[in-house]
Structure 1
Amino acid sequence: MSAVTAEVGTLPRVEARIAWRNPAIYGALGLLSLLVFGVLTPGEDRTRIQVSSATDVFTIDTFAVPSRLTAVLLSLVALGLAGWVAWNTANRKRNAAWIPAVFGALVLTAFLIWVMAGNSNALPLTVLLAGALTAAVPLAFGAMAGLLCERSGIINIAIEGQLLAGAFLAVVVASTTGNAYAGMIAAPLAGALVGWILVMFAVRYKIDQIIVGVVLNVLVIGVTNYLFSTVLTQNPQTLNSPPRLPTLAIPVLGDIPVIGPVLFQQSAVIYLMYVLVAVLQVMVFRSRWGLRMRSVGEHPKAADTVGINVNRTRIRNTVLGGAVAGLGGSALVAAGLAFTKELTSGKGYIALAAMILGRWSPKGALAAALLFGFADSLRRVLGNLGSPIPSEFLAMLPYLATIFAVAGLVGRVRAPAAEGKPYEK
């Protein structure tokens, strides 16, 4: 026995194969940034950047940077990070969590320097970031809705319909009452109704959840289009003229340059998003309620054996998720926008991608929503300022960002084991 043990102990250890996918992606993007945004930029061009707004407690004058030199330096730092990732991979060390964010920020800044090189207009950094946050809010609410549902085992493809239903009811109630807050409070009811229909078909009748979700999206689009054409257009002043949610500036914090206007001069629905993400991050991973929800989504039979009502948990969480998505629908019209046909324009599916990219985590989903929101804001800002990029490509930016993020950055992710599977006791 001892001889066999000694012989086994002398065998070479078999190590897992090194995956060079991520270092290759980092290296390719860094080289692309260096060549296109750096070397190919005319050396005499400069990029003007506007940082301050009129309400800041102190102002920073608009400044200009040499386009080629700045883009080259940013790209070289990005390539240095790519080399660090490759070294860590070769030595089987884990890369720090902040590396993708910093690398992406470097390449993105080089892109902005390149695209605004020689432009007489200054890049309004505060406007760009504030627009990114505003665009990310409905995506974040939708991603939180998907997280609540899928962590308990229900696939929520109906986020698109929940956002649209919430936006419709928010507009109608706010227009009728003349109170934007009334519309914001009513919106979750519409989303909760769509969530309830989804979970009833999924739990009671055990119909395929993906099919039910797609059908509900089509149903809500059809119903809202019909009501828009027959009801709202007949009396738009009464039913389709919602007031704007007022901006609530936080004293002192709202006057800080860049950060203040972006984060602390917003409407109530954005502040609610901050609270929701923080509360869910704690509740999902640090509370008994979150443990029970995750156990139902991972191993419902084991949860049932310890006294957790699996189907009741799924119903409650799906209705709650629908209400959260409905609140996200109110964010779409928080600026006093009138309701139009198919107002969401696929934002529910982008929210679903944000949830997956965020690995079913509230803070991860928020980061992904901000990424997609930034792509949407960038499209609008560059379109207004004028850029060498065709407008058709700019319109594709949010969707291209979604595809590349999910396909190239997610890597291996594991959804809750029991999602989409009906449970019978």
Structure 2
Amino acid sequence: MIIDPVLLTVSLVVAATPILLAAIGELVVERAGVLNLGVEGMMIVGAITGFATAVQTGSPVLGFVAAAAGGAALSLVFAGLTQGLLSNQVATGLALTLFGIGFSALIGQSYSGVRPPSIGGPLFGPLAGLPVIGPVLFGYDWVVYLALLLVLGTGLFLARTRAGLILRAVGENAEAAHALGYPVVRVRTLAIAFGGACAGLGGGYLSLVRVPQWTDGMTAGAGWIALAIVVFASWRPGRALFGAWLFGGISVLQLRLQAAGIAIPAQYLAMAPYLATILALVILSWKGGRGLAPAALGKPFHAAR
């Protein structure tokens, strides 16, 4: 069986979209100096809230709104605990991931085997029928283009706007930013809410488009891959896009190789995307990539100190 490069390209972009959404949200959170390891939990909460809302209302758009709201709601719990009560960011994020997995399994019991409403065809309609460039450039639903716009918008926000510079200042030195009169806790809370909404959107895309159905644990580590992509991207939005496409490409390629009957055990092919991510992080660490992280990443802040 010959692997069609056009179909492979289209498939990898779709596969990368939920991870890209979560990674862009987490990138903003970390640029504000907060380490949120609850991305996986926020993605799966977004997956079930979006799926349930879309099924009940018949509207996939409302489903995505609910997915973003579900992820943002869980992220605000994280913000309240870490920014208000100064709980440990790592432990809190892990706890919320476990909570999200359990909560989604409870809510999703009655949705197993149910099909959600269709999101519709390609956004640009007839243009998707053009040879080669049609499906590659125009053959996607509106959420894919929204994710690409978020990458562009995030890059411009961080580099070209006053609010973005303030957010970066908070992530580099929260005490100095506070001394200059910037509302550190508010900036971090807004960044966390944005990150949660993006993770929720990513989860909603998994359950409404990528699969589309509800199964327990359907994120299958996508949130952890998003966290790794942020590091791989050196906290830069453009590189996060490349990292998500790289992971999506390897994920789709291993499925195509299985379908082609390549004489490699399926378990090894299934491990390939995660091994590639680990390898990329090792190479980045070897080249000193850790020094590119925001200086205040993971450090708590209290105005009274």
TM-score range, shorter chain: over 0.9
CA contact (8 A) 2:232 2:243 kept: yes
Using the alignment, how far apart are the partners of 1:263 and 1:167 within structure 2?
26
Q: Which residue of 2 aligns with 1:309?
A: 183
Q: Which residue of 2 aligns with 1:412?
A: 288
Using the alignment, how far apart are the partners of 2:224 and 2:73 within structure 1?
19
Q: Which residue of 1 aligns with 2:163?
A: 289
Is 1:267 the counterpart of 2:145? The answer is no
The residue matched to 1:343 in structure 2 has which SS? coil
The residue matched to 1:333 in structure 2 has which SS? helix
Using the alignment, how far apart are the partners of 1:207 and 1:423 within structure 2?
11
Which digits, 9 at most, give the CA deviation of each residue in 1:301-341, with x for residues without a partner?
11112210001111111011101111111111232611100
Q: Which residue of 2 aligns with 1:156?
A: 36
Is 1:212 the counterpart of 2:87? The answer is no
Q: Which residue of 1 aligns with 2:152?
A: 278
Q: Runs of 5+ in structure 2 lacking a partner?
A: none
Using the alignment, how far apart are the partners of 1:171 and 1:218 within structure 2?
20
Which digits, 9 at most, give the CA deviation of each residue in 1:213-256, with x for residues without a partner?
11100111111112223x335xx6xxx43112112242675344
Q: CA RMSD in A?
A: 1.5
CA contact (8 A) 2:45 2:103 kept: no
The residue matched to 1:334 in structure 2 has which SS? helix
The residue matched to 1:212 in structure 2 has which SS? helix
Whichever residue aligns with residue 320 of structure 1, its letter is F
The residue matched to 2:262 in structure 1 has which SS? coil
Q: Which residue of 1 aligns with 2:63?
A: 183
Using the alignment, how far apart are the partners of 1:424 and 1:220 within structure 2?
28
CA drift at 1:194:
1.2
Match 2:218 to one of 335, 339, 343: 343
Q: Which residue of 1 aligns with 2:111?
A: 232
Larger mean Cα displacement after TM superposition, 338-347 or 180-189: 180-189
Is 1:194 the counterpart of 2:74? The answer is yes
The residue matched to 2:208 in structure 1 has which SS? coil
Whichever residue aligns with residue 204 of structure 1, its letter is G
Using the alignment, how far apart are the partners of 1:267 and 1:217 within structure 2?
29
Q: Structure 1 stretches (4+) deviating beyond 6 angstroms?
A: none
Is 1:383 the counterpart of 2:258? The answer is yes
Whichever residue aligns with residue 273 of structure 1, its letter is A
Q: How many residues align?
A: 299
Q: Runs of 5+ in structure 1 lacking a partner?
A: 1-120
Q: Which residue of 2 aligns with 1:243?
A: 117
Instruction: Give percent identity, aligned residues only.
Output: 35
Match 1:362 to one of 231, 237, 250: 237
CA contact (8 A) 1:145 1:159 kept: no
Whichever residue aligns with residue 220 of structure 2, its letter is S
Using the alignment, how far apart are the partners of 1:382 and 1:136 within structure 2?
18
CA contact (8 A) 1:293 1:313 kept: yes
Q: Which residue of 2 aligns with 1:35?
A: none
Q: Map 1:123-134 onto structure 2 (within 5 A).
A: 123-134=3-14
Taking structure 1 as reference, are residues 409 and 424 closer, same or farther at Cα in structure 2, changes over 3 Å only?
closer
Whichever residue aligns with residue 242 of structure 1, its letter is P
The residue matched to 1:156 in structure 2 has which SS? coil
Using the alignment, how far apart are the partners of 2:195 and 2:295 within structure 1?
19
Using the alignment, how far apart are the partners of 1:333 and 1:207 within structure 2?
32
Tell me the TM-score normalized by structure 1.
0.68
Q: Map 1:47-66 onto structure 2 (within 5 A).
A: none
Whichever residue aligns with residue 293 of structure 1, its letter is L
Using the alignment, how far apart are the partners of 1:147 and 1:311 within structure 2?
17
Tell me which protein shows more helix as a share of its residues: 2
Whichever residue aligns with residue 206 of structure 1, its letter is L
